[in-house]
C-alpha cells in the first residue's frame, strides 16, 4: 500500500531530521551458473582381455556443502554412478556402482563471507567407457548458485522539519530467517519379490524423496513423505535378463530447529545414498529384498513483518531534497513446489536391430525453456534416453541412445528455471512394432525458490540549495510512463494541486497536456 502526504508548518524548517531504522530482511545478492566435470575410475572384476560393453550409465549428484568466500563460492558434493555392462559373456548383464567426490569453485564477485548460498545441482550428461580392465566415469553437472544476505539494512523511514515536504511511503513485507535445522536419517524397508520375476540377483537401486507434509512447533519440525525406489535386478526369465521393480517407502521424521519462533516453515529431503540386497525367500523362487535409504532432511523457518518505508520525497519550497537510493531485491516468501505429470515418448529405432523385448529405459531431462500460461507452468527441453532391449535373433542385449524433445505442463505457480528440477519415475517401455518403442513415464517437478520483490529503497537524504524559479502558469506534456507523482516532483508542486488543475490526468499515459501553477520560491 502506497501513501503520499504533504508536510505542513515551517517551525523547524532550518533543522530537517531524517529518521532511520535497521531493517532485518533477507536480501538477494547475486546468482551464477557454472559447469563442473566430475570423473572417476574403477577397476573391473574380470580379466584385462575380456571384452566389455557398456549398456547404460546413470548418475546422481548430491550436495555436501557450500562455503562462501570473498569473490567465490566453493561447492562440494558427490556423484554416484550406476553402470550396466557385459564383460566376457555378452549375454550376462552386470552392474557397477561407484562414487566420486568433487569440489567446484563458482566465481561470484559480490560474494562475501557470511552470506547464505542456495545451490542447485543438475546432471546434464553421463558417460562410461571401459578400457584395459577399468571403467572410466564422467558426469557433467550444471551448478547454479544464488546468494542471499541476512544483514540488516539501514533505511530511511521518514523525514521531518523540511519546508513544503512531500513524502511517498509504502508498506513492505520483509522476510528474515528465524531458525533452521538439518539431520541425516536412515530409512529401512523389507519386501518380498515374487517368484514370477525369477530374480537371481539384485544389481542396484535409485531413489528420490517427496515431502508431503511438514509441521512445526516447540522448536521442532515434523517432516513426512515418500521415497520412490526403483530397483534393477538380474533375472532368469526367457528373453528378459533384466527386470525392474518399484517400491514406495513412507517416512516420518522429526528434526530440531535452532533459533527463534517463526510463522512459516519450508523443508527439503534429499536422498544421499541407497543400498539394496536380496536373498532367497521362504517360498521357492521368491526373494526377500532389504533396502536402506540415507536421507538428508533440512528445515528453515522464517518470520515476516510489515514495515512502512519511505520510497521517495521532495520539497515544494526551500532547499531541494535529494533521496539517496539503493536497489534491493528482498525475499517475500520461500516457495516450494512438488507436483508431477505423466508423459510419453515414441522412439523410432531407425537403422537399429529390431526390438523384440524392451527391458528398461533411463531418462535424463534437460530443461531449455520455462513459461507460465493460464495457471500452468510449461516446461520444454530435451530428454536423453538410453533404451535397453532384446532383439529377435540374439540373447545379447542392445542399447539405443537418443535425444527427444519434450513439453510438459504442470499445474503450479511460476518458478525460477534455475531452481527447478525434474525427476522421472515409473518409466515403462513397450514395443509397438519392431522399430517403434513407446516410453511412458511420470515426471516429477520440484522447486525450492525464493519469491523476490525489487525496489529502490531510500538509504539517505541530502539537501541542496534550489535555483530561483519564475512563478506563473506552465503548460507541459507528460513523458512516456511518467506518473503524477513524477510530474509533481519535476515541477515541485503538490500532487493535490496537480490533480485539481488536471482532473483527467492519468498515470503512465504519454503526451498528456498538463497545466500547472508554480509560485515563486528561492
What is the mean pLDDT, run by run of 10 residues, along the chain of 522 residues?
42 68 90 96 85 93 95 96 94 94 96 94 94 94 95 89 87 87 94 92 94 84 94 92 95 88 85 94 85 94 87 88 91 88 94 93 93 90 95 91 95 87 94 94 92 90 84 84 88 88 83 77 48
Q: What is the C-alpha end-to-end distance of the chain, expressed in Å? A: 34
- Whether 454 and 327 have beta carbons less than 8 Å apart is answered as yes
| Res 39: pLDDT | 96
pLDDT in tens, 328-365: 999 988 888 889 999 999 999 988 999 999 999 999 99
Rounded CA separation 315/325 (Å): 17
Residue matched to cell numbers 529401512: 188
Per DSSP, the three-state class of 351 is coil
Rounded to whole angstroms, the Cα distance separating 335 from 452 reads: 10
Q: Which domains are present in the chain?
A: 27-149 (no CATH), 467-522 (3.10.350.10)
Contact at 8 Å (CB) between 321 and 458?
A: no
Please report the DSSP string for 232-278 in residue order: EEEEEETTEEEEEEEEEEEEEEEEE-EES--SEEEEEEEEEEEEEEE
* Distance (Å, whole) CA 143 – CA 193: 38
DSSP state of 353: P
Of the CA atoms within 13 Å of residue 436, those in its CB half-sphere come to 6
| 494: Cβ contacts below 8 Å, ≥ 6 apart | 6, 164, 166, 316, 488
Q: Which residues pair with 140 in a beta bridge?
A: 37, 125
- Give the three-class secondary structure for 424: strand
Residue 45, φ and ψ in degrees, nearest 5: -75, -20
SS3 label, residue 375: coil
| Entry pTM | 0.85
Residue 350: predicted pLDDT = 86
Q: Please, are residues 236 and 200 in contact by the beta-carbon 8 Å criterion?
A: yes
Q: How far is CA 305 from CA 74, 173, 264, in A?
A: 33, 6, 12
Amino acid at each position: 500500500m502506497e501513501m503520499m502526504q504533504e508536510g505542513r508548518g515551517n517551525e523547524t524548517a532550518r533543522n530537517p531530521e531524517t529518521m532511520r531504522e535497521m531493517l532485518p530482511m533477507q536480501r538477494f545478492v547475486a546468482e551464477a551458473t557454472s559447469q563442473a566435470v566430475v570423473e572417476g575410475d574403477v577397476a573391473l572384476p574380470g580379466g584385462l582381455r575380456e571384452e566389455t560393453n557398456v549398456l547404460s550409465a546413470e548418475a546422481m549428484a548430491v550436495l555436501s556443502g557450500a562455503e562462501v568466500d570473498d569473490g567465490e563460492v566453493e561447492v562440494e558434493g558427490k556423484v554416484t554412478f550406476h553402470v550396466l555392462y557385459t564383460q566376457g559373456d555378452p549375454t550376462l548383464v552386470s552392474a557397477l556402482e561407484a562414487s566420486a567426490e568433487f569440489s567446484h569453485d563458482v566465481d561470484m564477485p559480490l560474494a562475501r563471507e557470511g552470506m547464505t548460498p542456495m545451490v542447485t545441482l543438475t546432471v546434464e550428461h553421463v558417460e562410461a567407457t571401459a578400457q584395459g580392465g577399468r571403467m572410466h566415469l564422467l558426469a557433467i553437472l550444471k551448478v547454479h548458485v544464488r546468494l542471499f544476505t541476512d544483514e540488516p539494512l539501514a533505511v530511511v523511514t521518514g523525514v521531518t522539519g523540511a519546508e513544503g515536504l512531500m513524502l511517498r511511503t509504502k508498506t513492505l513485507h520483509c522476510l528474515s530467517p528465524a531458525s533452521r535445522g538439518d539431520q541425516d536419517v536412515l530409512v529401512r524397508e523389507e519386501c518380498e519379490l515374487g517368484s514370477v520375476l525369477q530374480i537371481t540377483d539384485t544389481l542396484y537401486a535409485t531413489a528420490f524423496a517427496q515431502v508431503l507434509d511438514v509441521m512445526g512447533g516447540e522448536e521442532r519440525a515434523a517432516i513426512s513423505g515418500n521415497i520412490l525406489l526403483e530397483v534393477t535386478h538380474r533375472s532368469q526369465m526367457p528373453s528378459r535378463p533384466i527386470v525392474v521393480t518399484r517400491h514406495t517407502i513412507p517416512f516420518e521424521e522429526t528434526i530440531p530447529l535452532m533459533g527463534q519462533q517463526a510463522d512459516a516453515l519450508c523443508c527439503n529431503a534429499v536422498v544421499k545414498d541407497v543400498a539394496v540386497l536380496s536373498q532367497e525367500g521362504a517360498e521357492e523362487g521368491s526373494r526377500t529384498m532389504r533396502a536402506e535409504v540415507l536421507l538428508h532432511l533440512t528445515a528453515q523457518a522464517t518470520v515476516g513483518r510489515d514495515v512502512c518505508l519511505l520510497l521517495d520525497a521532495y520539497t515544494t519550497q526551500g532547499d531541494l531534497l535529494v533521496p539517496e537510493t539503493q536497489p534491493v531485491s528482498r525475499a517475500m516468501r520461500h516457495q516450494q513446489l512438488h507436483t508431477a505429470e505423466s508423459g510419453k515418448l515414441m522412439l523410432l529405432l531407425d537403422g537399429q536391430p529390431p526390438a523384440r523385448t524392451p527391458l528398461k529405459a533411463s531418462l535424463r531431462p534437460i530443461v531449455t525453456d520455462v513459461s507460465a500460461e493460464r495457471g500452468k507452468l510449461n516446461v520444454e527441453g530435451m530428454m536423453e534416453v538410453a533404451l535397453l532391449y532384446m532383439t529377435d535373433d540374439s540373447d545379447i542385449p542392445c542399447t539405443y541412445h537418443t535425444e527427444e524433445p519434450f513439453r510438459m505442463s504442470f499445474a503450479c505457480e511460476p518458478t525460477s528455471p534455475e531452481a527447478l528440477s525434474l525427476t522421472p519415475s515409473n518409466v515403462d517401455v513397450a514395443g509397438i512394432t519392431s522399430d517403434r518403442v513407446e516410453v511412458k513415464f511420470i515426471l516429477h517437478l520440484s522447486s525450492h525458490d525464493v519469491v523476490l520483490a525489487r525496489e529502490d529503497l531510500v538509504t539517505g537524504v541530502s539537501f541542496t540549495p534550489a535555483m530561483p524559479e519564475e512563478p506563473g502558469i506552465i503548460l507541459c506534456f507528460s513523458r512516456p510512463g511518467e506518473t503524477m507523482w513524477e510530474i509533481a516532483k519535476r515541477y515541485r508542486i503538490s500532487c493535490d494541486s496537480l490533480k485539481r488543475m488536471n482532473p483527467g490526468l492519468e498515470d503512465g499515459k504519454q503526451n498528456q497536456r498538463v497545466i500547472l501553477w508554480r509560485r515563486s520560491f528561492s
